[in-house]
Structure 1
Amino acid sequence: METSSQLDFCLHSWGANSYGQLGQGDVEDQSMPRLSDSSALQNRAIRAINGGGGHTAVITETGEVFVCGQNHKGQLGLGHSTDILVFQLCPVPNSRITNVACGWDFTLFLSDCGQLLACGSNAFGQLGVGQTVTHSAELLVVESLKKPIVSVAAGLRHSLAVTDSGTVYQWGLGLFSHAKRALSPHPVPPHLSSKEPSLVPGLDRRISRFVTAGSSHCACLTGDGDLFLWGSNKHGQLATTEPFLPAPTVLRRPVMDGEKVNNVWSGWTHIVAQTESGRVFTWGRGDYGQLGQRASTSTDSKQQSAGPVADGGSLKVCIPAEVKELCGATQEAVSSRGAGMNTACVETVYRQTSSSHSSCLV
């Protein structure tokens, strides 16, 4: 007797929903997981979900992108600026999309041929298409990136990309004001002040393979397992004594017991890293519990005073701490907006004639 199998995907979402970014057909906030209107996604397997300030993008296994939520700057790439309350197919001409990075009010699309497309606000040069475009509801090619792109990331108002040769580019003015205050009277480096892709210095002898971004910081993982960090260190997310790092600085391996880093994820103001043995470390802002570490009733032993900073306070150095409960985890994701204002969950249900299995990926 021939057996048949079927793969169904159900999308659950909850949290802030001011612009319909939960894809539920309304703008009501949800405190509990609720099914999104996934009729447009029927019979499509979901590969990944990414969220911006008020919009959401879903990638299917076939390379299609479905979007919903805030669209006042055209960040959904639909050719108009009307908010969308349920998921709608984003028309991407002649390309399959492998990754989407959502910034605050802009979106970057990476195609299977390594081409980078962008839409939404360009007020800070975050689209990488020059200064004449203020915003775009149409997908624009980032033409100055000549080599195929393999990784892309979006922060609040800045962007990052890695080419297939391992070179890292940055653009957008999201870190400019931080850099100007920290580096004055010295000039701000080009990669922190350019509205078009600019080569990130300090990584020329490394083969980079992955980038991620927070609201005002950047992270790059190299092929040999080193993690480089730069940008604002307001919440200790760079694990250094400096309030701002203008160029990539390697995270010393001894802080993670000498292990290489295999994966890294960035929240708005915190970082999660997984080592080669599967151990998970977190550091940065943790006042909403986003580090997964037990709060101490006494002085935090994972922070060390690094002396006074410009505002008269004291900068705390957040040392990466292991979250032992997550050792061996096969997949992680973090919310990059604020303290995590909304969340989406894909429930994968494998139906067979003899058994069923369901799992939830957040």
Structure 2
Amino acid sequence: MSRKRDRSAYFSRHDAAKRRLPLPEPAEEETPTMRPAPPSAVVVMGLPQDCSVLDLKSRFEIYGAISRIRIDRDAVGYITYRTKDSADAAIAAGLDPTFGITVNSKMVQVLWATDPLAMWREGVGNSRNKGSMSKLVRAEVPLSKHGRGNRLASPIGNTKLSEASSGSSVLEVSFKGREINEDDKDESEQRVWSWGAGTEGQLGTKILQDEHFPQLLHQPSLSSISSLACGGAHVIALTSAGKVLSWGRGNSGQLGHGLVVSNSLYPKAVTSLDGYFITHVSAGWGHSGFVSDNGCVFTCGDGSFGQLGHGDHASHCSPVKVSCFVDQHVEQVACGMRHSLVLLKDCTGNQVYGFGSGKRGQLGVSNDRVKSVNVPKVVSGFEGVEIAGIAANGDHSAAVSVDGHVYTWGRGFKGFEDARVPQCLNSSLNFTKVALGWNHALAMSGEGEVCMLGGNHLGVLSDLQNISPAKHLPHLREVNLEKVPGLDGTKITDIATGAEHSVIVTEHGEIKTWGWGEHGQLGLGDTRDRISPVTVSLGYDLNEAASVIVFCGSGFTFAVTMP
């Protein structure tokens, strides 16, 4: 049985498709359509006209891995990071009022891609001249597509100097801060120099590279420094107002910023300590210590050997109060490679405590071999001795008593056995300061004489031809101090030691260095080792009234003038 179709109903659908809707009114100007910006995308405004994509990438990949990058015809950069944390770091660096971010020596502004100003700029760029080519082969294409990975082999930081073109069409944006000129500095103002290993940002130069000559740091935040502590590759600065700044390597949380970061190129406040007036700081290989005026001690960083003193082996990225000393008054803290010392003082006397790795006897808590201790224990052998100061570096520990004696314990200096309890060094001099390296030590007397102990590896102890060879035979138990030769009676006002280099300051403000020089830490313009003290030129005439103090990290050096 067949049924006749209703032709009018069947063809009505096709007829309706042929009906056309009226066209919209033509727009006077095309409105750009933009995809929502990724949460990890930033815009860099104010780039120099000669800036290339690789220049931009070299400057900004220190904050994290970059997935996409381009520069438009008006020298505006667009960067997409792989993570939002990396973008956060770039934004924070750009907003820093002290340093900001420079590309080819020109200050730039970094904005979120979702910022109204950045979105307006993107819209203008898309609405006209759509045929213009980016400086990248193809805009918004990952660099890996063009045969480049996420890392460049050359050191991060561009040394090209260029001036911005006066005819630039770049939208200029005002900045919170400005660069500091030499003319701005007063003669009585404090100055800070750094040199040596800098690939972790520890020099504070904002460039990840070694420096073979002293670099004057233009950083207002370092204008009131009372002390520095230099560790494996990070630095802690203590201001006269009791505030703490830190920079350099932070992969173990040793910077105390609350986040584990690969590095920080500029001084950043340790805000968790803002409620305390800090009086003493110390930096170890991967951990840090802080002491407040009310006698509390805080630690952060790598805790895998118990060197933070919290009763476990956990690491912390913010300073945590050591509960063992809550009811006691801590005067100083000293951080070594994987151990820490604390000096307690009260009306009844003082004690030294040790915690962390003790494999070489550096804790001084027992004649027996102790692998590690994660809770502070009293150092033996100081009964009836009043300690004025403590020091730690590598696997060594040291203390100076009020009556001028130097005590050392831990790993034996080259030619000497390990000491598991403090040993008093044989000398008639009245010492006031001791500085420890990995294989050597310096001690300074109140009269400005400097003595040394240890081996002759890389010349860290100057020319041993002028030192009695009988006191440097292997396996001696008694450690003896020898005066540094070649100083000809020059009075020394300060000393410092790195892993394997030494620094002294004369009464005339001259800085002399010797020892290991592979990273330029001697400040002499090359990477050669030196076996005798050589004068370092700061390239600046110091005020006669100013004093100079020096500080050493493992492979870098700082000098600070104290007006």
Q: Report the TM range for the smaller structure's normalisation.
A: 0.7 to 0.9
Q: Deviations over 1:8-27 (max 9, x none)?
A: 22222111112111111121
Separation of aligned partners in 1, 2:203 and 2:493: 26
| 1:244 has 2:418 as partner | yes
Match of 2:265 in 1: 85
Q: Deviations over 1:74-125 (max 9, x none)?
A: 1000001111011111211321222211010000011122211111010001
Separation of aligned partners in 2, 1:112 and 1:343: 35
Q: Is the 8 A contact 2:458 2:500 kept in 1?
A: no
Higher strand proportion (structure 1 or 2):
1
| 1:305 has 2:468 as partner | no
Superposed counterparts of 1:130-279, under 5 Å: 130-131=311-312, 134-145=314-325, 146-164=327-345, 165-173=349-357, 175-176=358-359, 178-179=360-361, 187-189=368-370, 193-236=372-415, 241=416, 243-252=417-426, 256=427, 258-279=428-449
Q: Is the 8 A contact 2:361 2:421 kept in 1?
A: no
Separation of aligned partners in 2, 1:12 and 1:47: 14
CA pair 137-329 structure 1, distance change in 2 beyond 3 A? same
Q: C-alpha displacement at 1:55, in angstroms?
A: 0.6
Match of 2:81 in 1: none
Supply the AA of the counterpart residue of 1:99: H
TM-score, normalised by the number of residues in structure 2: 0.52
Separation of aligned partners in 1, 2:398 and 2:246: 26
Q: C-alpha displacement at 1:166, in angstroms?
A: 1.4
Separation of aligned partners in 1, 2:252 and 2:212: 28
Q: Is the 8 A contact 1:350 1:357 kept in 2?
A: no
Gaps of 5+ in 2: 1-185, 502-515, 524-535, 551-563
Separation of aligned partners in 1, 2:218 and 2:470: 43
Superposed counterparts of 1:78-117, under 5 Å: 78-82=257-261, 83-91=263-271, 92-117=273-298
Q: Is the 8 A contact 1:129 1:142 kept in 2?
A: yes
Q: Is the 8 A contact 1:10 1:38 kept in 2?
A: no
Q: C-alpha displacement at 1:359, in angstroms?
A: 5.2
Q: Deviations over 1:322-356 (max 9, x none)?
A: 126265322222225775754899x9x999xxx98
Q: C-alpha displacement at 1:264, in angstroms?
A: 1.8
Separation of aligned partners in 1, 2:350 and 2:449: 25
SS in 2 for 1:40: helix
RMSD of equivalent CA atoms: 3.0
Q: Is the 8 A contact 1:13 1:343 kept in 2?
A: no
Gaps of 5+ in 1: 181-185, 308-314
* Identity across matched positions, percent: 26
Match of 2:549 in 1: 361
Q: Is the 8 A contact 2:306 2:372 kept in 1?
A: no
SS in 2 for 1:144: helix
Q: C-alpha displacement at 1:276, in angstroms?
A: 4.1
CA pair 6-29 structure 1, distance change in 2 beyond 3 A? closer
Bigger Rg, structure 1 or 2? 2
| 1:320 has 2:481 as partner | yes
Moved more, 63-72 or 276-285: 276-285
Higher helix proportion (structure 1 or 2):
2
SS in 1 for 2:221: helix
Q: Is the 8 A contact 2:444 2:450 kept in 1?
A: yes
